[in-house]
Amino acid sequence: MPELPDIVIYLEALEQRILNQTLGRVQIASPFLLRTATPPLTTAEGKRVVALRRLGKRICIGLEDDLWLVLHLMIAGRLHWKEATTVSSRNRARAQSKASKFGLAAFHFTSGTLSLTEAGTQRRASLHLIQGENELQRFDPGGLEIFETDLDQFASALISENHTLKRSLTDPRLFSGIGNAYSDEILWHAQLSPIAMTQKLSAGEVERLFNSTRETLTKWTDLLRAEAGGGFPEKVTAFRPEMAVHGKYGTACPRCGNKVQRIRYASNETNYCPTCQTGGKLLADRALSRLLRADWPRTAEELEDVKRDQ
């Protein structure tokens, strides 16, 4: 799922391409995408883009008359951009029709076409058209913006409930824009266990987490900006070779060299380094434990021995 750094880069690219441009035709190819009926989507057509904003993991496109297009890409939604070209009206209509068949939506601006695609068969991405700031704020889950807060506010939010660090960092009511991928990277940077309980952290650990959150999100925003190089970001993914632990199960931790481990639950997994983050302790992965049909090993070394014995 695109998270804060990805959404920031999307917005920067959109600002260069659609701010002050007029939205012409909107095509919706999937009946599951549009989640509002009032005002009708045609109301947005012919309106100029006057603002762009991020609300958590949502992209908000502000139009004249206080209209807002609110996009949530969910896990597999991605945006694409095609510059406007000088073509005949017939060829343009054909191109627009073709674009609608291969994605969920296409937004045709005077400067080009923004399209939304979603991989897989599950349709989770959403589009809302709403009017007014009050309606827009209904989409804000209320989490702190990490670059607009201080250590005391961060600590207060973190310990407001006693949950694991992984859960708290990814709770949009507590912190804005952080998801599965970057929470793994933040916790690795801070050298903290993903299952450490928030109310048991020392003041020093809270401060370390605060600094790591800001540094990690800044690092990745800068990296993605450099990768885009002024172009439209077309390689938005949660799994990147530069990541330290996320998606790196079984590979060497770049800090200590020991193998990255994981906790799997439902369709998600948490990646961590046991040496750097859990004092060498291996966190129980129930799915793998059932597969091994053995008591869960306490260390990564014991896990490797068990695997070899199977």
Q: How far is CA 25 from CA 28, 45, 94, 154, in A?
A: 10, 6, 13, 43
pLDDT of residue 22: 98
pLDDT of residue 301: 52
Measure the CA–CA gap between 244 and 226, rounded to whole angstroms.
19
Q: What pTM, to 2 d.p., does this model score?
A: 0.88
User: Half-sphere exposure (CA, 13 Å, Cβ side) for 248?
Assistant: 21
Whether residue 31 has pLDDT greater than 90: no
The listed CATH number (3.20.190.10, 3.20.20.60, 3.30.200.20, 1.20.210.10) that belongs to domain 4-137: 3.20.190.10
Measure the CA–CA gap between 243 and 35, rounded to whole angstroms.
35
DSSP assignment of 89-126 equals: HHHHHHHHHHHHHTSSEEEEESSEEEEEEE-SS----E
51 bridge partner residues:
62
Report the CATH fold assignment for 146-309. Helicase, Ruva Protein; domain 3 (1.10.8)
Q: Decide: helix, strand or coil at residue 30.
A: coil
Whether residue 7 has pLDDT greater than 70: yes
pLDDT (tens digit per residue) in 163-203? 999 999 999 999 999 999 999 999 999 999 999 999 999 99
Locate the domains of the chain by residue range.
4-137, 146-309
Whether residue 206 has pLDDT greater than 90: yes
For residue 63, the 8-state DSSP code is E
- Confidence band of 307 (pLDDT split at 50, 70, 90): very low
Percent of the chain beyond pLDDT 90?
79
